[in-house]
Structure 1
Amino acid sequence: MRKIKFCREAFAEKLQNLLAQFPMIDTIHPFYADLLNIFYDRDHYKAALGQVRGVANFLDAVCSDYVRLLKYADGPYKCKMLKKAALGRMCSAVRRLKQTLAYLAQVRTHLARLPSVNVYAKTILLAGHPNVGKSTFMNALSNANVETAEWAFTTKNIFVGHFYFDNEPWQVLDTPGVLDRPLSARNTIEMSAIVAMAHLQAAVLYLLDVSTQCGYSIAEQVSLFKTLAPLLKTKPVLVVLNKTDLVSLEDLSAEERASLDSMKELRKQWIVSQEEWRYDIVPEIFDGKNVADFVDSDILQKLEQLEAEETHEADRFIGERRPKHLYSGKRSIGKTDRR
């Protein structure tokens, strides 16, 4: 009986420690959850953890069943056979987890390589086509030392750098290059950059290579910016014209300048029912109205006035409830005191 319990406790401890090493995908930040879904399918990951948890519960059931049978065994031989059967079932259940454990070991190795991004820190995110100079810009801005090369897709993961500005820490994210193509056609390298732009609250610097040495024309880079615009509409965005030492803005053609100017005002391309809605700071919620339309401009002044009135009413209420003898400083003398 002790051997069965010891075997169950040994297996349970190992499996519980294994489960504790993996995050619950429904409780972590969406940025990490989607990254995990990109590299390792979300459903497959949850199924693997469920199998391990199911085997742990199965071991508990086997242990309790065979311990109960051992209590009513009619001889040493029967006890020995029950012990052998219990240990065999436990070992068989754990042995069936071989492929699952190999998959989880691979996931754990890759999770250790994921960037340590503070999702609540002040962040600058670098985006753009491959080979436009994002990694070089990051190395110059922060303490990072990202590999740079003259060919595309040198950066295949998200890299994090840090620097201080006005005595406040900032982090810089160097994302892999993204191509202007449908979402279903993008690979895992590009999708990691898309996930960062979608879930991280950061100031986005979109780098654009005006020299076109990256292999993509200015029109193609502008088209990618407009494709990514829905992901960036809630974030501050700054377009950085890079490699102007090779090709100055005066050397650009009129068509290329017009393409660059179209990036300044994406609101002109919005489809709105009325023209005065186009430049609203807060997007419309219903019937051309938004939260800003219902905010009173004098709300702070009215709140201060309301607090003053409440304080006055509270003081008046306390004064009415105060005993009368406290006003004069003398206590009234009753008949009992005269005697």
Structure 2
Amino acid sequence: MVQYNFKKITVVPNGKDFIDIILSRTQRQTPTVVHKGYAISRLRQFYMRKVKYTQQNFHEKLSTISDEFPCLDDIQSILWNLISKIAKDYVKLLKYGDLLCRCKSLKVAALGRMCTVIKRIGPSLAYLEQIRQHMARLPSIDPNTRTMLICGYPNVGKSSFMNKITRADVDVQPYAFTTKSLFVGHTDYKYLRYQVIDTPGILDRPFEDRNIIEMCSITALAHLRAAVLFFLDISGSCGYSISQQAALFHSIKSLFMNKPLIIVCNKTDLQPLDGISEADRKLVMEMKGEAMKTVIGVLLIMSTVTEDGVIAVKNAACERLLNQRVELKMKSKKINDCLNRFCVALPKPRDQKERPACIPQAVLETKAKQAAEKEKRKTEKDLEDENGGAGVYSASLRKNYILSNNEWKEDIMPEILDGHNVYDFIDPDILLRLEELEHEEELSPEEQEALAEIRKKKSLLIQQHRMKKSTAESWPVVPKKFDMDRKFLTERMGRQLSCLGLDPSLAINRARNKSRGRKRERSVDRRVGDDGDAMDIDDNQASKKFRLRSTSRSRSRSRPPSEVVPGEGLKDSAQKVKTIKLAKKSVLKRNKNARRGEADRVIPTLKPKHLFSGKRSIGKTQRQ
């Protein structure tokens, strides 16, 4: 397991923020009210508590920083001694304080000197914060687990190989130094987890001239106990020749000591190993000889494009690393303690007769049958390859249906649907009956002309409506007296209705009555009969009739609240009046509390006195 995690290091505040955090915590966690009438011992304890609490907070914060950062014990001890000495001195002075103002001054002086010490180390705290941010960006590498380290010149295929064998997603580009830091991935081999580290490319130049990116690889090679995979680009497409890569190998071979070393010849799809020149082949063989001098060395070839040899390289590296770790454990002193705990029982043979393992014949036949079925069974991939490949072959989703008859699987129309027999709803003579129905519904020539006229009129109305809708904002309003086409005259409507064989009188009268405006009727008390004699009319009935006549037909009348509307679910007006009263009574309490609804949460007292009144000085309430 990883013994450290730099990402969990607490943020280091700067000097000002450090002081604000400590003083704010002291103010919140200690009492804040003190009076002149208190005894001097109580005043001393009050201010001594603040000084000691501030000192403890400084100590806890600095201890947290020193514990999370490696090798910071010296800095923490110096600061802790200074702050503890200041607190100790001022606590002694506070023990002999005789006045409130003097105790307060000593407290302020103690806290001020502590803050001054923190201000002096402000640049150091800022530096620690930068270190923390840089360490948080480092990958979490476990130095004790099984590790494979990939190194070599830039652009030789290291990141591509790591993407093939792990779930990591390292950026791969056709130019050098795409990988600028260490990348960590994980792979499995024989139920064990292996750690794979991809390093940036290294150039063959003096140690002093190497940059920070190259030093990441050098540091990993020097300090990690891992199996090293040195990559060679034998095609030369990386921009560096085999001789340059061999020179790099010889310059850093001291870092490969006591580590399994595997030389990987990559990009064999562009240039096979047999096709290189004799000089380059000699250089490769020399590198192989150097690799054989290490603990476990080997030369392998592969191509990340065609994936030839990728798994073989991974398995070889894992196997050699595992063997080396086992050998080291066998040579250690702990092996003797482990061997003492094992007891292997080897039974002595009682005679010279051989007793091979006996497997029943039925078991052998079952295994043979299963192996034959497994060989005969074809997967969807095999069927796809046999029937034209991807894009041509379409897998059948019905072949695994469990039906009474296997012939039903590929039927276009099922015989049973939703528990019903589909054949019962099929009429074989449906087309013939449709023709007979169309023949019966044939129209006469006059009816066809009328139907054509109606459809034409309907299409014109639809077009006019669409035009008005599209230009509704800019559509001009034409006064009736300027309507030269006379589209809206009742005579034109009468002519159209007469052409259709309808009586236009009722429609014309209805249009005229609707267009008539309101008129003021004279109030009369008497109506003249046919014989010329005056007849007395009841005043109430006359006035009611005249009011109804004076009301325009086009204006709607207001409905009284007690009138029952169809669909309300009420029996009569009395029941509706009672319902209205109950509804008003139910909301009366809610409205009194100024609530919007039943779920509204009301706080009637907006400013409670115990929260908004300040602290009083010494004195009685009566004098206010």
> Residue in 1 aligned with 2:126?
102
Correspondence 1:18 to 2:18: no
Counterpart mapping for 1:221-236 below 5 A = 221-236=245-260
Distance 1:86 1:98 in 2: 19
Structure 2 residue identity aligned to 1:99: P
CA contact (8 A) 2:141 2:184 kept: yes
Q: Once the 2 structures are TM-superposed, how far is the Cα of residue 75 of structure 1 from its aligned partner? A: 3.1
Which of 55, 66, 90 does residue 90 from structure 2 map onto?
Answer: 66
Distance 1:166 1:81 in 2: 72
CA contact (8 A) 2:263 2:291 kept: no
Overall identity of the aligned pairs, in %: 46
CA contact (8 A) 1:52 1:97 kept: no
Distance 2:80 2:240 in 1: 54
> Residue in 1 aligned with 2:171?
147
Distance 1:251 1:267 in 2: 22
Distance 1:243 1:190 in 2: 23
CA contact (8 A) 1:210 1:218 kept: yes
Distance 1:213 1:62 in 2: 68
Which of 154, 176, 195 does residue 200 from structure 2 map onto?
Answer: 176
CA contact (8 A) 2:262 2:291 kept: no
Correspondence 1:84 to 2:131: no
Structure 1 residue identity aligned to 2:182: I
Distance 1:268 1:2 in 2: 71
CA contact (8 A) 2:183 2:199 kept: yes
1:22-66 Cα distance to aligned partner (Å, 9 max, x none): 123xxxxxxxxxxxxxxxxxxxxx5xx643442232111100111
Counterpart mapping for 1:202-221 below 5 A = 202-221=226-245
1:161-218 Cα distance to aligned partner (Å, 9 max, x none): 1111111111111011111112122122111111111121111110011122222111
CA contact (8 A) 1:128 1:207 kept: yes
Distance 1:268 1:244 in 2: 22
CA contact (8 A) 1:115 1:159 kept: yes
Which secondary structure state, in structure 1, belongs to the residue aligned with residue 252 of structure 2?
helix
> Residue in 2 aligned with 1:257?
281
Which secondary structure state, in structure 1, belongs to the residue aligned with residue 144 of structure 2?
coil
Q: Once the 2 structures are TM-superposed, how far is the Cα of residue 153 of structure 1 from its aligned partner? A: 1.1
Correspondence 1:248 to 2:272: yes
> Residue in 1 aligned with 2:79?
55
Counterpart mapping for 1:289-308 below 5 A = none
> Residue in 2 aligned with 1:7?
54
Counterpart mapping for 1:101-120 below 5 A = 101-120=125-144
Stretch moving more, 162-171 or 250-259 = 250-259
Stretch moving more, 180-189 or 52-61 = 52-61
Which of 153, 159, 162 does residue 129 from structure 1 map onto?
Answer: 153
Which secondary structure state, in structure 1, belongs to the residue aligned with residue 197 of structure 2?
strand
Change (3 A) 1:84 1:267: closer
Structure 1 residue identity aligned to 2:283: S
Give ranges in structure 2 of 5+ residues lacking alignment.
1-47, 294-330, 341-624
Q: Once the 2 structures are TM-superposed, how far is the Cα of residue 256 of structure 1 from its aligned partner? A: 1.2
> Residue in 2 aligned with 1:189?
213
Distance 1:121 1:80 in 2: 59
Q: Considering only CA atoms, is the larger Rg found in Structure 1 or Structure 2?
A: 2
Stretch moving more, 204-213 or 112-121 = 112-121
Q: Once the 2 structures are TM-superposed, how far is the Cα of residue 79 of structure 1 from its aligned partner? A: 2.0
Q: Once the 2 structures are TM-superposed, how far is the Cα of residue 74 of structure 1 from its aligned partner? A: 3.9
Distance 2:106 2:292 in 1: 79
Which secondary structure state, in structure 1, belongs to the residue aligned with residue 218 of structure 2?
helix
Which secondary structure state, in structure 2, belongs to the residue aligned with residue 225 of structure 1?
helix
RMSD in angstroms over aligned alpha carbons? Answer: 2.4
Distance 1:267 1:140 in 2: 25
CA contact (8 A) 2:55 2:83 kept: yes
Distance 2:121 2:174 in 1: 45
CA contact (8 A) 1:132 1:242 kept: yes
Change (3 A) 1:267 1:237: closer
Distance 1:268 1:124 in 2: 18
CA contact (8 A) 2:261 2:291 kept: no
> Residue in 2 aligned with 1:167?
191
Structure 2 residue identity aligned to 1:186: R
CA contact (8 A) 2:151 2:228 kept: yes
Q: Once the 2 structures are TM-superposed, how far is the Cα of residue 152 of structure 1 from its aligned partner? A: 1.1
Q: Once the 2 structures are TM-superposed, how far is the Cα of residue 267 of structure 1 from its aligned partner? A: 8.6
Distance 1:117 1:64 in 2: 44
Distance 2:80 2:262 in 1: 52
Distance 2:94 2:265 in 1: 78
Distance 1:119 1:63 in 2: 43
Which secondary structure state, in structure 2, belongs to the residue aligned with residue 163 of structure 1?
strand
Which secondary structure state, in structure 2, belongs to the residue aligned with residue 109 of structure 1?
helix
Structure 2 residue identity aligned to 1:228: I
Stretch moving more, 73-82 or 122-131 = 73-82
Q: Once the 2 structures are TM-superposed, how far is the Cα of residue 268 of structure 1 from its aligned partner? A: 11
Structure 2 residue identity aligned to 1:226: H
The total of aligned residue pairs comes to 251
Distance 1:52 1:74 in 2: 35
1:219-273 Cα distance to aligned partner (Å, 9 max, x none): 010111111111102111010001111122233222111111111223999xxxx
Give ranges in structure 1 of 5+ residues lacking alignment.
25-45, 270-294, 305-339
1:65-98 Cα distance to aligned partner (Å, 9 max, x none): 1101111234333322222211110111112222
Structure 1 residue identity aligned to 2:146: K
Distance 2:118 2:103 in 1: 23
Stretch moving more, 72-81 or 111-120 = 72-81
CA contact (8 A) 1:155 1:177 kept: yes
Distance 1:120 1:55 in 2: 35
Which secondary structure state, in structure 2, belongs to the residue aligned with residue 178 of structure 1?
coil
Which secondary structure state, in structure 2, belongs to the residue aligned with residue 263 of structure 1?
helix
Q: Once the 2 structures are TM-superposed, how far is the Cα of residue 20 of structure 1 from its aligned partner? A: 2.1
CA contact (8 A) 1:143 1:161 kept: yes
Using structure 1 for the length normalisation, give the TM-score. 0.69
CA contact (8 A) 1:158 1:173 kept: yes
CA contact (8 A) 1:131 1:151 kept: yes
Counterpart mapping for 1:8-47 below 5 A = 8-24=55-71
